[in-house]
Chain A
């Protein structure tokens, strides 16, 4: 009875749409192995020269390191701030709970370009633009909501009577959290941390305002590179980044289920 998609015309439609969806990634993968240096098609031959050049591109390597360090810092800080909020929102009833929950999600409703400019206005006078600290602060607002969401989901689905059991057995609220709650929500917390890292690692727009000569993230380096040049070095870099994403996707999927956390 799934007649609409049993027939080949419908399958063809779905196949064409899949092709459209995956086209940019596929084409990037193909030309990363090309021999010619312009963004032209079809490829002229097979070579790894762009990967070799990539390995020697100091700006990209530094950007990669900066993004990695910033992403790690953002993930840790977002967890430290977000997990307690998730506990408060899921475990306690208090006034303004809904309001607070809305407030913590609100940064996702503000365009990156606006938040970037706003952060520049605050961070520039303090002199922390272009520093790791500045970048970490800048990425905090857009990552904490995801940590809150994944941690809240784990907290809501875990067996709450385990916490009560620990309490009746003599554990204080803090000990209960440390010995029982945290181990049980660990997958959700890990997923939240990985998502925070990925968002920070991929973030380009906010960073555009907050980077500086001392610390520029990889997406910003790529943006400026593509603005001026279009050789397949970017394609090679993209393939490397896609490979890294796949590793992370597998981690999240194993830990919590990708669809649940992105919803």
Chain B
């Protein structure tokens, strides 16, 4: 019955496989900053990236962004997810919907919201100013700080969803049992709740990491073109510098970063399952 998959395979070949193969072929060409593309089979573009400390730093900062945003997203999402699992409020359905509804709002729109919040005359700065806490506006956009803040918020619904799914096995009775055995709150949390939520945390962390290091809109708009990550660099090389071979090479380096993280993730999962 493989016949049923033929239309899907064809669709995916045209819209996915073929373009990626083309992109790989492009990464082997030679390009320069004048937009000229020389047909070749060479690793020059990869060499250009790997031979330049500037790009090493960019790759490192992209990884940092991924890890940093992931960790912070876990920290701010976990209390909400735990609350949603435990609550017996009759508004539980609404609260769950509120927590994941931002997913269905375009990230362009939410990024715009952060520009309004963090801008020099934005909500945060004007509030602080009117309370007399600052004289000069804090620099919250056009820098890394703003990108981190906005990305954490944008990733939260994904993390909450993953945590809620992971908590599926979680039964509040377990907490009661642990407490009745004399465990205090923190011990109950670290010995019972946290280990049980681990699969959800890991699923969410992988998803958030992957989405973060491939995000473009938010770093671009909140970073105001002054913050550089691999994704924004691909765009710049492809549209401004018109060095397509180089943009293609960075793309595959980004994919390589992806693959590395996924392999590490699977090892971590295996180790946790072995315990």
Direct contact between A and B in the complex (CB less than 8 angstroms)? yes
Enumerate chain A interface residues (CB-CB to B < 8 A): 1-5, 10, 13-14, 17-18, 20-25, 27-28, 31, 38-42, 77, 80-82, 84-85, 87-89, 91-92, 94, 100, 103-104, 106-107, 109-115, 117-123, 137-141, 144, 148, 198, 202, 204-205, 208-209, 219, 222-223, 226-227, 230, 234-235, 237-238, 241-242, 245-246, 248-249, 253, 258-259, 262-263
Complex-state Cα separation, A200 to B150, whole angstroms = 22
List residues of chain A with CB within 8 A of the CB of B110: 24-25
* CB <8 Å contact, B22 and A121: yes
Q: A41-B122, A114-B251, A223-B221 are in contact. Are A23 and B165 (CB under 8 A)?
A: no
From B11-19, B40-48, B50-58, give the one contacting chain A: B11-19
Complex-state Cα separation, A4 to B194, whole angstroms = 14
List residues of chain A with CB within 8 A of the CB of B2: 88, 94
Complex-state Cα separation, A110 to B114, whole angstroms = 26
Q: A1-B176, A84-B7, A117-B248 are in contact. Are A238 and B103 (CB under 8 A)?
A: no
Complex-state Cα separation, A198 to B221, whole angstroms = 22
List residues of chain B with CB within 8 A of the CB of A109: 210, 258, 262
Contact of A42 among B11, B126, B175, B262 (CB under 8 A): B126
| Least distance between B136 CB and chain A CB atoms (Å) | 16
Contact of B11 among A81, A103, A249 (CB under 8 A): A81
Complex-state Cα separation, A193 to B80, whole angstroms = 30
Q: B115: CB under 8 A from chain A?
A: yes
Q: A81-B11, A198-B104, A238-B112 are in contact. Are A263 and B221 (CB under 8 A)?
A: no
* CB <8 Å contact, B97 and A249: yes
Closest 5 CB pairs of A and B: A24-B113, A111-B214, A118-B19, A141-B16, A40-B121
Complex-state Cα separation, A112 to B5, whole angstroms = 24
Given contacts A5-B83, A103-B12, A140-B11, 11 further A-B contacts (CB under 8 A): A4-B86, A28-B113, A28-B116, A41-B122, A41-B126, A111-B254, A114-B254, A118-B251, A137-B14, A205-B217, A226-B112
Complex-state Cα separation, A259 to B163, whole angstroms = 12
| Least distance between B212 CB and chain A CB atoms (Å) | 10
Complex-state Cα separation, A140 to B156, whole angstroms = 26
| Least distance between B114 CB and chain A CB atoms (Å) | 5
Residue of B whose beta carbon sits closest to that of A121? B22
List residues of chain B with CB within 8 A of the CB of A246: 101, 104
A-B contact count (CB 8 A): 267
As a 0/1 sequence over residues 247 to 271 of chain B, the CB contacts with chain A under 8 angstroms (1 = contact) are 1100100110010001000000000
Complex-state Cα separation, A91 to B244, whole angstroms = 43
* CB <8 Å contact, B8 and A104: yes
* CB <8 Å contact, A140 and B15: yes
Complex-state Cα separation, A34 to B217, whole angstroms = 25
* CB <8 Å contact, A222 and B112: yes
Complex-state Cα separation, A262 to B12, whole angstroms = 21
* CB <8 Å contact, A20 and B76: yes
| Least distance between A41 CB and chain B CB atoms (Å) | 4
List residues of chain B with CB within 8 A of the CB of A110: 16, 20, 214, 255
List residues of chain B with CB within 8 A of the CB of A118: 19-20, 22-23, 251
Return 21 A-B CB contacts under 8 Å, by A number: A5-B82, A5-B86, A5-B87, A21-B99, A25-B102, A25-B113, A28-B113, A40-B119, A42-B123, A87-B1, A111-B216, A111-B254, A113-B251, A115-B20, A121-B22, A137-B14, A204-B108, A219-B106, A226-B221, A241-B109, A249-B97
* CB <8 Å contact, A92 and B1: yes
| Least distance between A32 CB and chain B CB atoms (Å) | 10
List residues of chain B with CB within 8 A of the CB of A148: 8
Contact of B185 among A3, A22, A137, A138 (CB under 8 A): A3
List residues of chain A with CB within 8 A of the CB of B234: 113-114, 117
Q: A41-B123, A88-B4, A111-B254 are in contact. Are A28 and B244 (CB under 8 A)?
A: no
* CB <8 Å contact, A121 and B11: no
Q: B67: CB under 8 A from chain A?
A: no
List residues of chain B with CB within 8 A of the CB of A205: 216-217
List residues of chain A with CB within 8 A of the CB of B103: 262
Complex-state Cα separation, A144 to B17, whole angstroms = 14
| Least distance between B242 CB and chain A CB atoms (Å) | 12
Q: A22-B98, A117-B251 are in contact. Are A226 and B108 (CB under 8 A)?
A: yes
Residue of B whose beta carbon sits closest to that of A221? B108
Complex-state Cα separation, A82 to B104, whole angstroms = 22
Complex-state Cα separation, A40 to B121, whole angstroms = 5
Name the interface residues of B151-185: CB closer than 8 Å to any CB of A: 153, 156-157, 161, 164-165, 172, 175-176, 179, 185
* CB <8 Å contact, B122 and A112: no
Complex-state Cα separation, A262 to B175, whole angstroms = 28
